[in-house]
Amino acid sequence: MENVAWIEEIRTQATRDIELADGEPALEEIRVRYLGRSGRITRAFRDVAAAPAEERPRLGQAINQLKDYVELALARRREVLGQAARATLAAAERIDVTLPGRPLAHGRAHVLARTAREITEIFRGMGFDVEDGPEIESDHDNFERLNIPPYHPARDAQDSFYIDNTWLLRPHTTVVDVHVMDGRRPPMRAVTSGHCYRRDPVDASHSPMFQQIDGFMVDDGVRLADLKGVLYEFARGYFGAETRVRFVPSYFPFTEPSAGMDIGCVICGGRGCAVCKRSGWLEILGCGMFHPRVLEMARIDPERYTAFAFGIGLERCAMLKHRIDDIRLFYEGDVRFLRQV
C-alpha cells in the first residue's frame, strides 16, 4: 500500500510529540490535538469525503490505521510514564514509620475486676451461679446465721465496722451464701465476689476494705473430697496447670471440718522464700463443709444434704499472680500501676 505523504507526516509528528510528553497533562493535550473533536486525525476523516471516490477506501483505511497507531502510542507512553511516577513515589511520599503512633485511649479493667471475673468464670464452668449481695448486712445474717454468736472469739478475726447495733459492713462474703440458701432449695451451687470490711489498719498487706470470692455447694452426697477436687481445679485454672495444693486443718465457726488450702509457692517454686515464710506454701483460701447448724438455720436438713463452702482472698490471688507487693496499690488509682497489671 502506497503511503500517503501527509498521513505519514502526521504519524511522524505524533510519534515525536508522544515521546516528548512528560506526563498525563501533556498526553491528554496530544490526544485532544490529534484525536479530539477537531483534532488533526478527526479532521483528516472529514478530508476523506473531499477526496476522489476511488481513493476514499484506501485513504480511510490509512487514517484508521493512523488513529489506532496514535491511540496505542498514547497508551504505551502513559504506561511508561506511570511506571516512572511509581518509581519515585517512595521518595516523593515517604513517611518516617518510626515516629510514635497517635495513642488511642486504650481502656483497661482493674486487675481485681479481671481477677474476680477470671475466678468466678472458673467456678461457673463447674456449675456455680454467679451471685451478688449487699455490702451492709445485719448482725444476725452475718454472724448468727453463720454460727457465730455474740462475743464469740471468732468475731475478733472479723472485727467489723458497725453502722448501729443492727447493721454492719460485711466482714466476709460468706453471708451471701446465707441469702442464696434462703431463696432456693437444694441442689445449689453459687459463687459471689465483692467488697468486705474489717477493722485492719492500713499497711502493705492490710486494707480496711478488701475483696473476697465466696462459693458454696449444697446437694445430697457432697463430700470433703469434692471440695478438694473443685478447689484444686480452681487453683490449676487460676495459677496454672502445674500448681500443687495441700489442705490443712483450720477453724471457721460455720464449717466443720474446716480447712485451709495452700498452693506451692509461686515465687520460689516451693524451695522456700520470704513470701512463703520459708515454708514453700502459700495459704490462699479457707474452706470446709458447712456446719450442720448453718444448714439447719437455712431450713436445710443436714442429714439429707451436705454442703461445702470456701472463701478466697481476691487481692492475695492477684498479688501472687502479678507479683504485687503492696495491697494499697489496688485502691490508689495510679494509672501507671493500672496499666502494668
Partner 1 sequence: MRVPREWLEAYVDLGDVSTQTLVERLATAGFPVDAVEQQGDDAVLDVEVTSNRPDCLSIIGIAREAALLFGRALRLPEGLERAGGVRAVRTPRSASRAGAPSRRGRGRSVQAAKGGPRPAGGVRARISITVEDSEGCPRFTATVFDDVRAGPSPVWMQRRLEAAGVRAINNVVDVTNYVMLEMGQPMHAFDLARVGGRRLIVRRARPGETLVTLDGVTRTVDEQSLVVADATHAVALAGVIGGQDTEIGPQTTAVLLEAAYWFPPGVGRTSRRLGLRTEASSRFERGADPDGPILAQRRADLLLADVAGARLVPGVIDLYPRPLPRAAIRLRPRRAAAVLGVEVPRREMVRILRALGCDVRPGAASLAVRPPTNRPDLTREEDLIEEVIRVYGYDRVPLTMPRGTTTPGRVSVPVAGERRVREALIRSGLTEVMTLTLVAAEPPAAPAGGGPNGAGSIVAAAGDVRLTNPLTVEHAALRRSVLPGLLRVLATNASRRQQDVHVFELGRVWRAGEPGGRPDERRAAGIALMGRWRWGWNVPADSAVADFYHLRAVVDALVQDLGVAGELAVRSSTSYLLHGAAWWHPGRVAVATVAGREVGRLGELHPDLVDRERLPYRPCVAELDLDLLLEAAGPIRTYAGLPRYPEVDRDLAVVLPETLAAAEIERLIRSTAGPLLETVELFDVYAGSPVPAGHRNLAYRLRFRAPDRTLTAAEAEEIMAEIRTALEDQAGGRLRT
Residue type at 334 in one-letter notation: D
Give 27-47 as a DSSP string.
HHHHHHHHHSTT-HHHHHHHH
In the bound state with partner 1, the residue whose beta carbon lies nearer, of 66 and 191, is: 191
CB of residue 72 to partner 1, shortest distance in Å: 39
CB of residue 318 to partner 1, shortest distance in Å: 11
Let me know: does 258 contact 290? Beta carbons within 8 Å.
no
Q: Which residue shows C-alpha cell 479481671?
A: 114
CB of residue 255 to partner 1, shortest distance in Å: 9
Query: DSSP label at 145?
Result: G
In the bound state with partner 1, the residue whose beta carbon lies nearer, of 52 and 101, is: 101
CB of residue 91 to partner 1, shortest distance in Å: 22
In the bound state with partner 1, the residue whose beta carbon lies nearer, of 31 and 293, is: 293
In the bound state with partner 1, the residue whose beta carbon lies nearer, of 16 and 223, is: 223
In the bound state with partner 1, the residue whose beta carbon lies nearer, of 82 and 125, is: 125
Residue 122's Cβ-side half-sphere holds a number of Cα atoms within 13 Å equal to 20
CB of residue 265 to partner 1, shortest distance in Å: 14
CB of residue 134 to partner 1, shortest distance in Å: 5
Residue 334's Cβ-side half-sphere holds a number of Cα atoms within 13 Å equal to 10
Q: Which residue shows C-alpha cell 460455720?
A: 254
In the bound state with partner 1, the residue whose beta carbon lies nearer, of 52 and 333, is: 333
Q: Is the peptide bond before 208 cis (omega within 30 degrees of 0)?
A: no
What are the C-alpha distances in Å from 167 to residues 19, 137, 283? 95, 6, 31
Let me know: does 186 contact 218? Beta carbons within 8 Å.
yes
CB of residue 170 to partner 1, shortest distance in Å: 11
For residue 217, the tally of other CB atoms under 10 A from its CB is 25
In the bound state with partner 1, the residue whose beta carbon lies nearer, of 34 and 281, is: 281
Query: DSSP label at 271?
Result: S
Q: Which residue shows C-alpha cell 485492719?
A: 200
